[in-house]
Amino acid sequence: MRYNHILFDLDGTLTDPGVGITKSVQYALRKFGIEEDCDALKSFIGPPLQVSFRERYGFSEEQVTEAIAYYREYFSEHGIFENDLYPSMKESLETLIEAGCTLHVATSKPTVFAERILHHFDINSCFKSVAGSFLDGTRSDKSEIIAHVLQDQGIAAVDAIMIGDRKHDLIGASNNQVASIGVAYGYGSLEELTACEPTTIVNDVRELVEWLVKPTSKLVPQR
């Protein structure tokens, strides 16, 4: 079956944002007197920031709001560009478009930042729509974001597939009756992805494109 509409997560799926995100979190935590090594902050890549600050550090709602403001001080000037497009990603997106697919971005990152990143890597023209959260923290849940894309673009759930590297992407797809692909090259473990029972799991960008263009392919994830 061909999926006409492909929804991509951004962080850990289209780009590797590890350095920028962890440095931004580190900057914010220092404002609270908390010192963390960047390697210990990789769990922040993917989930909404509100959730990560609250669950990991027990921050109150007021502290969460303050922490996100500090995060954005660094991220908006520096962290946003401490980021890399995954190898062959631009060519792969163009291949999918040539095959007749319509591409969308569905990310928990604020839309304004997502659009800047897509422009920075010159892949913005590959996507028909970009849906993210609002700067006030609303519409950050991936289920809500995917639902918005489907409704806003008039897409039937059976015509769409969601691609992401964390459980939030796959759960969001399931909650909207949308097929999903877990990408094992991102920041979610194979165990995390498998537990969500996605339609399939792929190991790299090449396998991702192969599965989408030839959806009958049987790919066995290896790591």
pLDDT at 12 over 60: yes
What digits encode the pLDDT tens for the residues 67-79? 999 999 999 999 9
What are the chain's domains?
Answer: 5-16+86-213 (3.40.50.1000), 18-81 (1.10.150.240)
What digits encode the pLDDT tens for the residues 193-205? 999 999 999 999 9
Structure tokens at 55: 């669950």
Four-residue CA torsion sign, 204, 168, 122, 83:
negative
**What pLDDT is recorded for position 2?**
73
**What pLDDT is recorded for position 221?**
43
pLDDT at 60 over 50: yes
pTM: 0.90
What digits encode the pLDDT tens for the residues 177-186? 999 999 999 9
Residue numbers annotated as active site = 9
Where do we find the tokens 């220092």? 30
Helix (H, G, I), strand (E, B) or coil at 118: helix
